[in-house]
Amino acid sequence: MSTKPALLGGKAVRTEPYPIHTTMIDEKEEREIVEVLRGGHLSGFSARPGERFLGGPKVQQLEKDFAVHFGVEYAVSFNSATSALHGVVAAAGIGPGDEVVVPPTTMSATASSILMQNAIPVFADIEDATYCLNPDAVADAISPRTKAVLTVNLFGHPSRLDELEALAQKNELVLLEDNAQAPGALQNGRRAGTVGLMGVQSLNYHKGIQTGEGGMVITNDKRCAEHLRLIRNHGEVVIDHMPNRDELGYENMLGWNYRLTELQASIGIPQLKKLDALNAVRVKLAEMLTRELQAFDFLTPPLVRDGCTHSYYLYPLRFHRDRIGLSRETFCKAMQAEGISIGQGYVRPIYLEPMYQKRIVYGARGCPFACPWFEGEVSYEPGRCPVAERLHFDEILTTDICKYPNNEREIHEFVEAVGKISTAVDELQTIEK
């Protein structure tokens, strides 16, 4: 193999595409899909009172399986984790004028689910160890209008859930979990996604397991589960048929079509059985990569806190320019030229997106920020979350090579590419000038 970096004309370490993540689908999912197709009912839902209000047999089976797997009382399926996030914010009673503390380093839907309820996202900084929400920053962000904390178990590592739980209880707040990236991860023996009042799992095609698109909410709260079922299936049409509607206070129920199809659920049933095995592949490859990268001090592998496990949705790296003498951009371009899957940053801190900078979401009047129910002030100025900004713009690299069906070959290629670049720093510096 040539030792000259491919960016400078050498031969690339890898010259073929990575296998696509759909290789996690096999004959087990095929059998389930065929059964649904031959049965003729692609969706079991109907937006009217009766048994079909809760969906078809595959949807209900998948929900039961999720509840058992995660050791909770209830699981409610949605057609995406985005709609599931909206569901948990609504079921938590969040509404106009309320504030919800949320990290800025996450997929945009985490925060937009709050806006969907005409409530206000308040961004608190992340920690630079695991990149999850910093409880100290959360404490500073709490105001008299705060109703909930929506934390994200990012990249596959749990947030400091015990501390966030205690903080929420102290301040009489609801703790919610976006667990889209960390199914199966543990903190002190508790599964991520089960510590908060409700936890959202993702079944998007590139997550730990998939149904193409889909989401699931897990909870031990009966009232939340009932509320979620109403939200996902036009719940306003069945309120008159609920004998305890006055007690529940659901007169203002507004539902959507957030329903999972029988086809999607049929894929999810065997997929859930594979979750532990697929996570084991990620952990094995990630731990191997961490060991191999110890030879390069300019890359800091992800931390796994004591008492925690990591499911490695992505493998994040801290890049130290001062230790290698190359910019992160040049290093990343050189790795990509070697055929390696790697990217700079993760997502730009959400509050830097135009609708937060312009404070405009619904129509042209500035709601919910300018609505009369919101009596506070919220900052979305650059610099609000300095750790999140520094990590995204200057330090973080991410790779997805630890996912199935990749194996040791992909790890060796990654490390070989890093080695090639580290021995050609002088030459690579010339293209930066």
Structural tokens at position 256: 């959507």
Strand, helix or coil at 106?
A: coil
Give helix then strand counts, H and E, for the chain: 15, 13
Position 285 confidence tier, pLDDT thresholds 50, 70, 90: very high
Q: Please give the Cα distance from 310 to 123 (Å, whole number).
A: 24
Q: What is the pLDDT of residue 1?
A: 53
Q: What share of the chain is helix, strand, coil (3-state, %, to 5)?
A: 45, 15, 45
Percent of the chain with pLDDT strictly greater than 90: 88
pLDDT on residue 244: 72
What is the mean pLDDT of the segment spanning 164-193? 98
250 or 114, which is more confident = 114
pLDDT in tens, 387-403: 999 999 999 999 999 99
Do residues 214 and 204 touch, judged by C-beta distance below 8 A? yes
pLDDT value at residue 2: 67
> CA 30 to CA 226: how far, in whole Å?
32
Lowest mean pLDDT among 62-66, 327-331, 429-433: 429-433
Give the Cα separation of 87 and 215 in Å (integer).
11
Find the radius of gyration of the CA atoms of the chain.
23
- Averaged over 19-45, what is the pLDDT? 92
More confident residue, 198 or 370: 198
pLDDT at 21: 76
Tokens of 73: 């009382």
Distances (CA, A) of 370 to 36, 101, 353, 362, 377: 48, 19, 18, 10, 10
Any idea where the domains of the chain sit in the sequence?
27-271
What is d(CA 421, CA 190) in angstroms, rounded to the nearest whole number?
Answer: 41
pLDDT for the residue numbered 3: 85
The pLDDT, as a whole number, for residue 280 is: 97
pLDDT band at 243 (very low <50, low <70, confident <90, very high): confident
Say whether pLDDT at 51 is over 90.
no
Question: If residue 245 lies in a helix (H) or strand (E), which one and from where to where?
Answer: helix 245-248
Spell out the CATH class of 27-271. alpha beta
Q: Are 126 and 134 in contact (CB under 8 A)?
A: yes
Please list the residues that pair with 139 across neighbouring strands.
none
Which has the higher per-residue pLDDT, 242 or 330?
Answer: 330
pLDDT at 121: 98
Provide CB contacts within 8 A for 174, sequence distance 6+.
Answer: 92, 93, 147, 148, 149, 168, 196, 197
Contact 314, 399 (CB under 8 A): yes
Instruction: Supply the pTM of this predicted model.
Output: 0.96
User: In which band, very low, low, confident or very high, does the pLDDT at 14 lie, cut at 50, 70 and 90?
Assistant: very high
